[in-house]
A and B are shown apart, each in its own frame.
Chain A
Amino acid sequence: EAGVAQSPRYKIIEKRQSVAFWCNPISGHATLYWYQQILGQGPKLLIQFQNNGVVDDSQLPKDRFSAERLKGVDSTLKIQPAKLEDSAVYLCASSLGPAATDTQYFGPGTRLTVL
């Protein structure tokens, strides 16, 4: 079974530029998550999708971050404009459903460096 795929793996941009990350979840997984992991910290949930609808985006900085999951499969996370403090690893995860008993499977992440 293929795992969660993410691209790119690394990205370096200047502040105020825009950037987009892509995630392809495990086939059949209805729930998709984006996490931000700042160096030295644990992952923090940014947004959760159930199929193509947003379930929780309470910690997403909506003035600069946006995410979509068209057709309930792949998802993109965008930052525009980027700030220095956005430097982090962005992790995508998916699960069969939204229950806490549904195991979340994580992708390898995208490491973003903002200069």
Chain B
Amino acid sequence: AQSVTQPDIHITVSEGASLELRCNYSYGATPYLFWYVQSPGQGLQLLLKYFSGDTLVQGIKGFEAEFKRSQSSFNLRKPSVHWSDAAEYFCAVGGRTGTASKLTFGTGTRLQVTL
């Protein structure tokens, strides 16, 4: 069964500082991987996704993520955080066949940005 672990429940960073949110997945084959952001009262918005190819993926709002097969990780990074980045971030894994569109989400990491 596929699963996702986000070990950090809550992270606080200063505006302008760099950010890394951790994500580890469990899946039998090469997974499809996603990062979503959820602002208060909003639905989830896709930041970026990895299907194959280059393991460093660029997304919207200046975010990037790196797929590391050896570590079963897909960490999200941003070099300089803005106050508007405060939100909840979810990593998700999707299957390739059968339940191909079934996303399994992690429990999320809440990001707080201090000014």
The number of chain B residues touching the other chain, given as a range, is 20 to 34
Q: What residue in chain B is nearest A48 (Cβ atoms)?
A: B101
* A107→B43 contact, CB < 8 A: yes
CA distance A93 to B100 in the complex (A): 15
Q: What residue in chain B is nearest A107 (Cβ atoms)?
A: B43
Of A38-46, A67-75, A77-85, which binds chain B? Answer: A38-46
B41-65 with Cβ < 8 A to chain A: 41-46, 49, 51
Q: Is the interface of A mostly helix, strand, loop or mixed?
A: loop
Asked if A21 lies at the interface with its beta carbon under 8 angstroms from chain B, I say: no
Q: Which residues of B contact A106 (CB under 8 A)?
A: 36, 43-45
The number of chain A residues touching the other chain, given as a range, is 20 to 34
B17-42 with Cβ < 8 A to chain A: 32, 36, 41-42
B88-115 with Cβ < 8 A to chain A: 90, 92, 94-96, 99-103, 105-108
Q: Which residues of B contact A41 (CB under 8 A)?
A: 107-108
* B106→A42 contact, CB < 8 A: yes
CA distance A97 to B100 in the complex (A): 10
* B90→A31 contact, CB < 8 A: no
CA distance A48 to B98 in the complex (A): 13
Q: Which residues of A contact B92 (CB under 8 A)?
A: 42
Asked if A95 lies at the interface with its beta carbon under 8 angstroms from chain B, I say: yes
Interface hub of B45, B92, B100 (most chain A Cβ within 10 A): B100
* B100→A91 contact, CB < 8 A: no
* B102→A45 contact, CB < 8 A: yes
CA distance A47 to B111 in the complex (A): 29
Known: A43-B44, A103-B49, A106-B36. 11 other contacts (CB 8 A): A3-B43, A33-B101, A41-B108, A95-B101, A100-B32, A100-B94, A100-B102, A104-B46, A106-B44, A108-B42, A108-B43
| Chain A positions near chain B (C-beta within 8 angstroms) | 3-4, 31, 33, 40-45, 48, 56, 91, 93, 95, 97-109
A-B contact pairs, 18 of them (CB 8 A): A3-B43, A4-B43, A31-B101, A40-B108, A42-B92, A45-B103, A56-B99, A91-B43, A93-B44, A95-B101, A97-B101, A99-B101, A100-B32, A101-B32, A104-B101, A106-B45, A108-B42, A109-B43
